[in-house]
Amino acid sequence: MYLYSVIAAAGLLSLTQAETDPRVQVALTLDTPSNGVSTTPSGRLFVLYARVDGTQAQGLPEVVEWINDTGVPFPQRGVELVRRQHVRPGHDAGPKLVVVDLSTNQVKRVYNMANVTESASLLDDIRFNPATGMGYLTDAGVGALIVLDLDSGRAIRVLDGDESTGAFTPPSGEGTLLRSSTGGVFPASGGMFRIETQYLDAAFYNSSLANTLAQYVEPFALTPSTGGTAIDAEGSIYVSDTDRQAIEKVYANGTRVTVVRDERLLWVDAMWISSDEKLWMPAAQLNRGVPFSPGGVNRIVTPLHVYTVDIGVGPSGIDHA
C-alpha cells in the first residue's frame, strides 16, 4: 500500500480553449465557492464552502448539509465546527481535526494539531488506513505530512521540507501562476510522489526512521497544477488540472490519461467519488478569488456549480473511511 503525496509540477500545457463536454452534468448550483463535497451511501450530501469570494466566514456556515436544494448549517448552529480544510492556527488554538458522528450529528472527537503544525500550516486533506488505525494529513501551507494515530490522538510531523511535500512549481490557474496581493507565489500544487505507508506507520514509533523517511519516497507521476484529488476502487487517482480545465486519471502503474476536459471545470477543488460511480467536481474558481487576484479583486463569476461525470467505478474503501 502506498500513500501518494501531491506537490507542484508543470506538465506540458496545451492551453487551447477547452469546450464543453455533454458528459459533464450540473449537480449543484451555488452562490459561494465550494472546495469540497461529500456523500454518504444513504444519500446525504455535504458541501464545504471556501469563502475566497470576499464574503465573511464569521457567523456563516463553513459546512452545510444539502437538503431540498438548500444548504443547512452542519452539524448544527452553535457548534463551533472547525473543519480540516483551510484551518489556520492562531496564537491560542492550533488547527483541529473534528469528527462528527453522522448518526447523531454531534461532534464526537476533536484532534488538536497544534503540536505538529506551524503558523503558516494549512491542513488540507486526510486519508485513512483502517488496517493500522492511522490517518495521514497533508500540510499544504508549509509542506509536510502528519501521521495521526486515530485511537490515541498522538501525531508526528514527517517529510518536513522534503521535495516530495514542497514546492516543485507554484500553483497555476487558467494558465497564470497564482499570486498573493503582494505578488508572492504559493507553495505546493502538482507533481506526485509516493511512499509506502508501512514506513510512515513504522516512523510513528521510531524517531530515527522518521528523520530518514525521504529515502523511501519515489517519484510517481508528473501531474499538473491541481486543486484536488480522489481515489477510486481500483486504486486510480483523479487529479484536476487547473490550467487546462480538465480531469486526469493516474492509473496505479503511473500511466496518465485525460478523463474529461470542459471549459466549465474552473479550478476543480477536492473531488469525491460516490457509490453510484460518479466523480463530483466542485468548480471553485479559487484562482479568481480575493486571496489570489491582483489587487485583491474578486473575479469569481456566480452562480458556481458542482459538476458530476460518470466514471464507471466506485470509491476507494480507504479514501472514504
Q: Which of 202, 189, 198 is nearest to 239 (CA)?
A: 189
Taking CB under 6 A as the criterion, the residue among 14, 76, 106, 255 binding ligand NAG is: 255
Site for ligand NAG in 210-249 (CB under 6 A): 212
Name which of 209 and 233 has its Cβ closer to ligand NAG.
Answer: 209
Instruction: Give CA–CA dist 34/282, Å, rounded.
Output: 6
Smallest separation, CB 164 to ligand NAG (Å): 18
Q: Hunting for cell 502528519 — which residue is that?
A: 146
> Within 55-94, which residues bind ligand NAG (CB under 6 A)?
67-68
Among 17, 103, 182, 208, binds ligand NAG (CB under 6 A): 208
Planar angle of CA 302, 249, 28, nearest 5 degrees = 25
Report, in Å, the least distance between residue 146 CB and ligand NAG: 11
Q: Which residues pair with 126 in a beta bridge?
A: 137
Q: Which is nearer to ligand NAG, 110 or 185 (CB)?
A: 110
| Residue 96 CB, nearest approach to ligand NAG (Å) | 10
Cβ-based nearer residue to ligand NAG, 17 or 208: 208
Comparing CB distances to ligand NAG, the nearer of 112 and 275 is 112
- Shortest distance, CB of residue 54 to ligand NAG, whole angstroms? 29
Nearer to ligand NAG, 156 or 177 (CB): 156
Work out which of 180, 206, 258, 302 binds ligand NAG, going by CB under 6 A. 206
Alpha carbons within 13 angstroms on the beta-carbon side of residue 109 total 7
Task: Assess 104 for contact with ligand NAG (CB under 6 A).
Answer: no
Distance CA 180, CA 136 (A): 28
Q: In sequence order, what DSSP letters do the residues of 104-159 get, joined into one string?
A: TTEEEEEEE-GGG--TT--EEEEEEETTTTEEEEEETTTTEEEEEETTT--EEEES
Calpha distance 200→165 (Å, rounded): 14
Distance CA 174, CA 246 (A): 11
H or E element in which residue 63 lies: strand 63-67
Residue 251 interacts with ligand NAG (CB under 6 A)? Answer: yes
Q: Does 253 bind ligand NAG (CB under 6 A)?
A: yes
Task: Find the part of the chain contacting ligand NAG (CB under 6 A) among 26-34, 56-64, 204-212, 312-320.
Answer: 204-212
**Quick one: 167 or 209, whose CB is closer to ligand NAG?**
209
- Please choose, from the candidates 243, 245, 257, 274, the residue with its C-alpha nearest in 3D space to the C-alpha of residue 66: 274
Cβ 120 vs Cβ 140: under 8 Å: no
Q: Which three cell numbers stand for residue 51?
A: 469563502
Identify which of residues 60 and 67 has a Cβ nearer to ligand NAG in the complex: 67
Tell me if 112 contacts ligand NAG by CB under 6 A. Answer: yes
Q: Which residues bind to ligand NAG, rule: CB under 6 A?
A: 67-68, 112, 115, 154, 206, 208-209, 212, 251, 253, 255
